[in-house]
Amino acid sequence: MSTSLNILRQNGNVPKTLQGEDHISGIMAYLPSTEVPDSFKTERVQPLSTIEAAEAAGITADAASWGVRVLHYHLSEIYRLNPAVILYVGGYACGRLHICRGQDHAELCRRQAPPVGCVGR
């Protein structure tokens, strides 16, 4: 009896590595202090490469917080559109920077303390 074995090389569901740095991005979420996921209370910026990693960090579609549910939606769309993205997610309490009172991005940049810094400086 003769048998044959064919090996098909595929990527194994591993996202393709992209050249350059155009696929590296970040998103900051400012939530009321009671709604910030616990994992972001100790490490405010985390690299999350998949929606599963975001869910493990406490950003879920069924969270009690509306803001966390909206963040989950945005992250799921980012990963859907670019599965190979390297995404840094920041979770901050808005009371710290008073963002919830309607300050604009320029005011945020003036108030934000190093080392977090501000995009575009």
**What is the distance of C-alpha 21 from the center of its chain?**
17
CB contact set of 15 (below 8 Å; sequence gap of 6+): 49, 83, 84
What is the dihedral angle through the alpha carbons of 37, 89, 118, 77, rounded to the nearest 10 degrees? -120
> Per residue in 25-58, pLDDT tens?
888 888 888 888 999 888 888 999 899 999 999 9
For the chain, list residues with pLDDT below 70: 1-2, 5-23, 95-121
Prediction pTM value: 0.62
> CA 3 to CA 5: how far, in whole Å?
7
What confidence score (pLDDT) does residue 97 get?
Answer: 44
